[in-house]
Structure 1
């Protein structure tokens, strides 16, 4: 477990540079989750470290395989200085712990809900899990372990989350793209959903 997390941290540092802050959160019955903060000009990125220590297990499986199964870490990027986004550390750690706590498999296209604003004043309490590979490349592990995928999280307003449940992740992403939505704006409003 520690060896995998050391490799994951090295991959994050290679892709994002040195973190300027880190915080650790431990939930009862789960492994410790860390959240690292990276500043890149006017963008702040928060990345989890700890979620990939164990593979995510199919919630219908009788026994969880300790080696095989998808592994991931979460990354969220926001514009700096517009909101107190450092408060996202705890909600992000909660999302990273959800495979251990709730037995969910976090994958692209999924919605994750935290039940409260991601940070003070945020119009978002849920995120859309986007496709990996753009910001941080997958980390290959020795077989039979699956690679660690670094999954970007895109904050969704309540209206967007409801629309996504009906229309799907692809249509929501196309809507954001066609309207030139700045998904890094920590205070943005909902995209028009007419």
Structure 2
């Protein structure tokens, strides 16, 4: 989920799903996902979707019945779940930064066997450390903190900058001249708003740069 700017009047506060994938896709997943994304982008939401938006910014793990009213289970939206053989879901939401969240969803296909509170607690415990991992993935691509996303060669330069390699060694690893490597490094640091490798390391450790971070 990504938060779009300038959406104060939006029922979802600007939050929109950007990508959705299934570990084990169901036959109707592709059509259901496409329809759901189109409806959300048109501002057509339901109780379960708006509940997620209200809770944005906090690490959370919940079952369907934790965030919706009993009446929701009589709605057409829940019928879409049943039509695909889904009777319950368990979602763990991971805030990555102020503009991005990651979600892990587990589907229960067995009727009359909803997720238990113990299972919710286990999922929360198991996934609590993942926001740091997701943040590093975004940082490696320059998403969320950089003036613009990194190019493929800049992503490689970032990986080398986080080692003890000299600029000469980085140039050799990238297969470019020292001057070109220096340009890549300078552009990476400028995009991130840091002044050197120490600032880059601090950013990777979760400390913001001295100057105001730039966003997309």
TM-score range, shorter chain: 0.3 to 0.5
Could you tell me the TM-score, scaled by structure 1's length? 0.34
- Indicate the structure with greater strand content: 1
Structure number with larger C-alpha Rg: 2
- Indicate the structure with greater helix content: 2
Name which structure has the greater RCO, CA cutoff 8 Å, separation 6+: 1
